[in-house]
């Protein structure tokens, strides 16, 4: 089973640990998401649950992560069928650490090693500091975001090629005053941010800005000293905490498909249109020669292989499985069917749950759900995939 490693990059207080606990809580039962997460290590599961309890109960918050502590949280993504059979699909390992290690230390080899191993990077931008910057209400907080936190995140992101996601944390503090577009416009005024996005766009590697709130709207009010006061009797409604995880695999695959097609075409032009097609169109373009034959004589020409530890072979296997699924969906008019597929309703995806019978079909089903979550994000926030 493939494990996707994700490192969260965020300054102290950005909300990394609270986010992790809230994401686990939201995804720990299958519910409407079509998959669920399990933390196999009993002690870690207890710890994560107790962090979430501290978030939603009492007046205090979980303590900041200790400097020496690098927590590794491994989540197994599993799918439960209507007959209650249960299959693992893939794993996600998140690394959490004290944010000071990112901003206050010049060289941290252990930390840089983690970044180099990652399959995706999740940069947590502190919504509270962004609010201070956008409103001009707290120069110190804005200055720390612009001159310390963001440059440290961008520096590490520039050192690797994997897909990057920015989670805009504490969205509950911004939501009523600013649109995502307004925040994005301000961020794009920062030359290094803009450059990073342009480089990624050129390479065909997705960059996303995803608003999230680990507690949801009207659960806290900011006190004058900057701390968060929980509102008595308020109910937590975590917002989009499942989205960054759901984007990892589709974006990883998108970046890989782009690399393959760029290699294949040996692109010479530098001014290629940076607007990348969506993952489904790319899958179909990538597989076009096979599809032409396959649509005539059946899907067997896709030659689905077993799993391998080689990342290229593994990506190829996943891509083929998805394409084969698309073909099964409609033999005729395949491109139209693919567009329809991207608009699948939750009910239709739930139908596909009936086909889950082993690890392989569980992974396909999980990816369909990831694509559904990603599609919903792009409907709600079309600007969340940053394309300049």
Ligand X SMILES: Nc1nc2c(ncn2[C@@H]2O[C@H](COP(=O)(O)OP(=O)(O)OP(=O)(O)O)[C@@H](O)[C@H]2O)c(=O)[nH]1
- Which residues are at the interface with Mg ion (CB under 5 A)? 16-17, 65
Smallest gap from Cβ 19 to Mg ion, in A, equals 9
- Residue 13 in contact with residue 99, Cβ under 8 Å? yes
**Segment interacting with ligand X, rule: CB under 6 A, options 7-15, 87-95, 181-189, 346-354:** 7-15
14 near ligand X (CB under 6 A): yes
Which residues in 177-216 contact ligand X (CB under 6 A)?
213-215
Smallest gap from Cβ 12 to Mg ion, in A, equals 8
Q: Pick one of ligand X, Mg ion, none as the site partner of residue 173 (Cβ within 5 to 8 A by kind).
A: ligand X
Q: Which residue has the tokens 């050129």?
A: 202
Q: Pick one of ligand X, Mg ion, none as the site partner of residue 31 (Cβ within 5 to 8 A by kind).
A: none
Q: Pick one of ligand X, Mg ion, none as the site partner of residue 214 (Cβ within 5 to 8 A by kind).
A: ligand X
Give how many residues touch ligand X by CB under 6 A.
Answer: 23
Residue ranges of alpha helices (H) inside 159-271 are: 180-188, 191-203, 243-265
Residue 105 three-state SS: coil
Pairing verdict, β 207-211 and 220-222: unpaired
Question: Please, which residues have CB within 8 angstroms of residue 81's CB and are 6 or more apart in sequence?
Answer: 87, 353, 354, 356, 357
Interatomic CA distance for residues 145 and 107, integer angstroms = 20
Site string for ligand X, 223-252 (x = CB under 6 A): -----x------------------------
Interatomic CA distance for residues 166 and 343, integer angstroms = 25
Q: Which residue has the tokens 């504490």?
A: 170
**Whose Cβ is closer to ligand X: residue 64's or residue 382's?**
64
Which residues in 53-92 contact ligand X (CB under 6 A)?
61-62, 64-65
- Residue 366 in contact with residue 79, Cβ under 8 Å? yes
Smallest gap from Cβ 95 to ligand X, in A, equals 12
Torsional class of 41: left (φ above 0), alpha (ψ -120 to 50), beta (otherwise): beta
**Whose Cβ is closer to Mg ion: residue 30's or residue 71's?**
71
Binding residues for ligand X, rule: CB under 6 A, are 10, 12-18, 61-62, 64-65, 98-99, 169-170, 172-173, 213-215, 220, 228
């Amino acid at each position: 089973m493939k494990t996707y490693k994700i490192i969260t990059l965020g300054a102290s207080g950005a909300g990394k640990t609270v986010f992790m606990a809230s994401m686990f809580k939201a995804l720990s039962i299958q519910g409407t998401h079509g998959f669920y997460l399990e933390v196999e290590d009993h002690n870690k599961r207890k710890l994560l649950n107790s962090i979430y309890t501290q978030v939603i109960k009492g007046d205090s918050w979980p303590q900041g992560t200790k400097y020496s502590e690098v927590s590794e949280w491994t989540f197994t993504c599993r799918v439960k069928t209507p007959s209650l059979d249960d299959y693992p699909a893939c794993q996600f390992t998140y690394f959490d650490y004290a944010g000071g290690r990112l901003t206050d230390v010049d060289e941290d080899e252990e930390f840089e090693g983690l970044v180099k191993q990652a399959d995706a990077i999740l940069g947590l931008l502190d919504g509270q500091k962004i609010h201070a910057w956008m409103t001009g209400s707290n120069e110190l907080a804005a200055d720390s975001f612009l001159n310390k936190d963001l440059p440290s995140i961008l520096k590490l992101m520039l050192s690797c090629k994997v897909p990057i996601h920015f989670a805009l944390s504490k969205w509950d503090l911004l939501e009523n005053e600013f649109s995502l577009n307004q925040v994005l416009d301000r961020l794009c005024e920062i030359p290094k941010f803009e450059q990073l996005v342009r480089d990624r766009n050129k390479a065909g590697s997705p960059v996303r800005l995803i608003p999230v709130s680990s507690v949801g709207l009207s659960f806290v009010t900011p006190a004058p000293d900057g701390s968060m006061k929980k509102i008595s009797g308020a109910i937590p409604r975590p917002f989009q905490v499942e989205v960054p995880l759901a984007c990892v695999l589709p974006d990883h695959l998108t970046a890989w498909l782009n690399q393959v097609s760029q290699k294949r075409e040996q692109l010479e032009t530098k001014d290629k249109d940076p607007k990348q097609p969506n993952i489904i169109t790319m899958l179909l373009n990538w597989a076009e020669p096979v599809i032409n034959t396959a649509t005539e004589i059946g899907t067997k020409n896709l030659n689905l292989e077993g799993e391998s530890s080689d990342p290229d072979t593994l990506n190829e296997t996943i891509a083929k499985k998805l394409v084969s699924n698309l073909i099964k969906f409609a033999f005729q008019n395949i491109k139209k069917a693919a567009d329809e597929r991207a608009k699948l309703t939750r009910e239709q995806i739930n139908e596909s749950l009936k086909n889950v019978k082993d690890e392989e079909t569980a992974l396909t089903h999980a990816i369909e759900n990831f694509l559904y979550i990603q599609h919903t994000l792009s409907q709600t926030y079309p600007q969340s995939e940053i394309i300049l």
